């Protein structure tokens, strides 16, 4: 389970580019590519190593017109997947 107080940053080997309401993410070390939706890419763009998950979600609720609780529930498995795949890592 991901803590709402965790501060994440994108691994330096990850590149992504927004294309309208989707984005392509490339994990250079693994030579893998993913297509992400607008919500996912907005979360990744906010993983700057300074903001907690709770702060990121609070900022995203207005953008996507959804409650913080609903967005947190939707993002939790995605965050866990990103961490497991080494796309994001905790900021120290």
pLDDT of 73 strictly over 60: yes
pLDDT of 92 strictly over 80: no
Average pLDDT over residues 34-58: 95
Task: Please give the pLDDT value at position 53.
Answer: 97
The residue extents of the domains of the chain are 7-12+39-90
Task: Please give the pLDDT value at position 19.
Answer: 86
Task: Please give the pLDDT value at position 30.
Answer: 83
Task: Please give the pLDDT value at position 1.
Answer: 56
What pTM was estimated for this model as a whole? 0.89
C-alpha span between 18 and 63 (Å, rounded): 16
Helix, strand, or coil here: 87?
coil
The percent of residues above 90 in pLDDT, for the chain, comes to 83
What number of CA atoms fall less than 13 Å from residue 33's CA on the CB side?
5
């Amino acid at each position: 389970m991901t803590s709402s107080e965790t501060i994440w940053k994108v691994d330096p080997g990850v590149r992504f580019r927004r294309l309208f309401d989707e984005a392509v993410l490339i994990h250079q070390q693994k030579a893998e590519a993913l297509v992400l939706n607008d919500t996912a890419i907005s979360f990744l763009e906010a993983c700057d190593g300074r903001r907690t998950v709770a702060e990121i979600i609070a900022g995203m609720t207005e953008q996507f017109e959804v409650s913080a609780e609903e967005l947190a529930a939707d993002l939790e498995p995605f965050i866990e997947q990103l961490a497991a795949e080494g796309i994001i890592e905790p900021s120290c």
